[in-house]
Amino acid sequence: MNATHTASPARAPGPPGKLLVGNLLDASRRENRLAHFVHVWQTYGDIVRLDLGPLPFFLLTRPDHVHHVLVAHAANYPKGRGYNKLKLFLGDGIFTSEGDLWRRQRRLLQPLFTPQSVGRFESHMRRAIDGLLAEWESAAASGQELDINQEMMKLAMNVISLVMFGFEIGARAREAADAFSAMLRFVSERSVSAIDLPLAIPTAANRRAQAAMDRVNAFMAEIVAERRADPTEHDDLLALLLAVRDPDSGAAMSEEQLRAELLTNFFAGHETTAQALTWMWYLLSLHPGVRAQLEEELARVLGGRAPTLADLPNLTLTRAIIDETLRLYPPVWGYVRQALAADEIDGYHIPAGAMVMVSPFITHRLPTIWPNPEGFDPGRWMSEQGAGRPKHAYFPFGAGPRVCIGNNFALLEMRLMLATAAQRFHLDLQPGFRPVLESVASLRPAGGMPMTLTPRTP
């Protein structure tokens, strides 16, 4: 079904709100904000209106809604005011910019992130993976329990550090990463706060956020200054960003744009991949039959050796496990946009200025599209099940012109990690542990994911 237009658009259904604050308190009180959106979807249907403060907010759940907002009418639905808070920290990088600036940035950066281009970073990914698995050998021998969420954060941080700067993560970069995580949490909490004070007002929370931003900016400035003073040729993303030129003007990136792109790639790149890998190990632990099938595929295709780029097309179950993980636990669980002009979707009025959200977490669970929507079934990606699936029923990386530029990078890293580690270890969830979803900057397990490692016998 397509988004329809009627002569007299109606008001979308939704929960009643309170005077002045609408539904804002309901959304912000819940331990897991995502649970609130799932609840209103299950209660009110495919389109739900919420009043989260001064502007109406619409939850849209069907694939045709995704197409309408992110693809067909993307020009009417920029990222809007919801990303202005994030822009305070990231600057006008490719994630937060709009209009001509964004188009220029996308044109400059897209060639660096094609499937062919990201292949050049395989050796960096391999180095980080091998280093982590060497640590796991010691942990497995001692029976040590590990927080796999922290382990995947460590891996993703090392990968992005090697890819961007050519060195493994150190204390300086780890401090900057911790500061950035604090910034993201601050922005996320402010987005549902009934009171949104300017950053310049010296509250305790604002002072902590400003201090975190100062640490991150200092780290990036130091890295760029050190590189500019080093005449050695480097094979990393920073070198590529310094060398890239606008095809029309021939101009290099400004210092401000370079900082923004470094921030976006370094921090946004590791957070989401780490969470996806965490949920992948969780699901495999719960489904030993799928894990056994994976091990059979890896033995047949790889025979105990490390995977290469040439092997990846033959690792079909490996890819299906990743796709199914991203269906059930998409790290970016909601994409928020703001309507420039009034619109109408399925006969419901969308006022100018309204905020709208499409949620992969919800759309990926629509029972009309996905048989056994809550079940972990990688086979659905290897059969005819997907033949009639609507476009944009699956969009873990977004859709349309603003689709995630780093999706090929993330998928390569995840496939290499899974195909390497699953040949050497079983990862098993701590008995009785059930993760609690935390939906702040990304979809993560609150308090971590305790697992034990068991070396596999050849």
pLDDT digits (tens, 9 = 90+) for 317-356: 999 999 999 999 999 999 999 999 999 999 999 999 999 9
Does 151 have pLDDT greater than 70?
yes
- Does domain 24-455 correspond to CATH entry 3.90.550.10? no
Does 50 have pLDDT greater than 50?
yes
pLDDT band (50, 70, 90) for residue 31: low
As a whole number, the mean pLDDT across the chain is 88
Does 363 have pLDDT greater than 70?
yes
Does 244 have pLDDT greater than 80?
yes
In the chain, % of residues over pLDDT 70: 92
Q: What is the mean pLDDT of residues 425-435?
A: 95
Does 295 have pLDDT greater than 50?
yes
pLDDT band (50, 70, 90) for residue 270: confident
Does 3 have pLDDT greater than 70?
no
pLDDT at residue 2 in the model: 44
pLDDT at residue 402 in the model: 94
pTM for this prediction: 0.91
The Cα–Cα gap between 326 and 332 comes to 10
326-337 burial by CB neighbour count: b if 16+ within 10 A, else e? bbbbbbbbbbbb
Domain boundaries, the chain: 24-455
Q: For residue 242, what are the contacts with CB-CB under 8 A and spacing of at least 6?
A: 227, 228, 252, 253, 258
Is-contact 178 431, C-beta < 8 A?
no
- What is the Cβ-side half-sphere exposure of residue 278, based on CA atoms within 13 angstroms? 31
pLDDT at residue 192 in the model: 53
The mean-pLDDT minimum among 41-55, 192-206, 216-230, 410-424 falls in: 192-206
